Amino acid sequence: MNQLPTKYPYLPTWCPGCGNFGIMNAIKMAILKSGIPREKFVVVYDIGCAGNMADFLDLYGFHGLHGRALPPAAGIKLANHDLKVIVVIGDGGCYGEGATHFINLMRGNHDITVLVHDNHRYSLTTGQMSPTTDQGTKTKSTPEGALEVPMKPLALAVSNHATFIAREFSGNIPQLSMRIGQAIAHEGFSLIDTLQICSVYNPTQDLKWYKEHTVGLEMIGHDPSDKAAAWARAMEEDKLPVGLFYQEKRPAYHQLVSELQSATLLNHDKSVVKMDELLNEYR
Ligand code: SF4
């Protein structure tokens, strides 16, 4: 039965007011609504406050190293492309340490859904500057204010050929859940940059701040099939657009691998593999 248990052995340990509560609920709602059996989902967690969700979500999962959640996610999909693979990762892990993986998996259109919990800080390690921290912001690692200008992750996604690009807010659970459902259904690389409240290390960007500094893409008549318009929206400075920036249909990576056309790698006939011959090549 496609139901998530209502009782969990461990309750979330996130701080009161943390946006991770909303994102986790949105994931659960999207999975329940998808109609896909929950044993068909695998969630790959990065290290960070977001990654602690590994202890609270009763789904198949893998907890990767910091910044390295994307490669095992791609590997899981290639090993068994019948699975739906979701990555839970922070802005530091995805856009900092994991940026090379992020760029190259988008180019390959690997069929994984990447949920970036973007709170503009390294929060698990007590609030250092991340790639999306605003210039001039004072953090524990930038006591005189951040010197770098922040990364534009959605522009990076547009320019590196991601086929589903969205931004949502952790405080709008119904819309975030709906978007996660779309991303799960999308065949190819899907990114949802989720603006996440960190009530402890980024208290300025709270619910009120996000209400004042975001604007819905549907309110401004954006066409998600228009790549040039998606780029322009991704580069906007004044107000952060929220919604679906861009979506296109392109074969996913596993659909282009000839060996995976007849069956998942998992279901290949392993008796025909001559392991001794293979190993001898490396001796
Ligand atoms: Fe959430 Fe920030 Fe607390 Fe981490 S430090 S649990 S991101 S509120």
- pLDDT, tens digit, for every residue of 224-275? 999 999 999 999 988 999 999 999 999 999 999 999 999 999 999 888 888 8
Q: What pLDDT does 2 receive?
A: 53
Work out the average pLDDT over 123-141.
97
Topology (CATH) of 20-253 = Rossmann fold (3.40.50)
User: In which band, very low, low, confident or very high, does the pLDDT at 6 lie, cut at 50, 70 and 90?
Assistant: low
Helix, strand, coil share of the chain (percent; to 5):
40, 20, 45
Predicted confidence at residue 3, as pLDDT, reads 59
Among 56, 130, 200, 206, which is best to mutate for testing ligand 1, by the most ligand atoms less than 8 A from CB? 200
**What is the CA(123)–ligand 1 centre distance, in A?**
6
The finding on whether 23 has its CB within 6 A of some atom of ligand 1 is no
* pLDDT per position as a tens digit, 153-164: 999 999 999 999
- Mean pLDDT for all residues in the chain: 95
pLDDT in tens, 33-81: 999 999 999 999 999 999 999 999 989 999 999 999 999 999 999 999 9
Closest atom of ligand 1 to 196 CA is: 7
* pLDDT score of 272: 82
- The DSSP 8-state label assigned to residue 149 in this structure reads P
Nearest atom in ligand 1 to the alpha carbon of residue 201 is: 2
> From the CA of 200, how far away is ligand 1's center (Å)?
6
Residue nearest to atom 7 of ligand 1 (CA): 198
Question: What is the percent of the chain with per-residue pLDDT over 90, rounded to a whole number?
Answer: 90
Decide which of 3 and 24 is more confident.
Answer: 24
pLDDT tens digits for 206-228? 999 999 999 999 999 999 999 99
Query: Which mutation among 18, 116, 126, 130 tests ligand 1's pocket best, with the greatest number of atoms within 8 A of CB?
Result: 18
253: left (phi over 0), alpha (psi -120 to 50) or beta: alpha
Condensed to tens digits (0 to 9), the pLDDT of residues 94-131 reads 999 999 999 999 999 999 999 999 999 999 999 999 99
Annotate 184-241 with DSSP letters as a single string: HHSSS-EEEEEE---TTT-TTSSHHHHHHHEEEGGGGT--TT-HHHHHHHHT--SSEE
- Which ligand 1 atom lies nearest to the CA of residue 50? 7
For residue 5, the model assigns a pLDDT of 56
Backbone angles phi, psi at 178, to 5 degrees: -60, -40
Q: Report residue 10's pLDDT band, with 50, 70 and 90 as the boundaries.
A: confident
What's the confidence (pLDDT) of residue 1? 44
Residue from 107, 233, 120, 84 nearest 167 by CA:
233
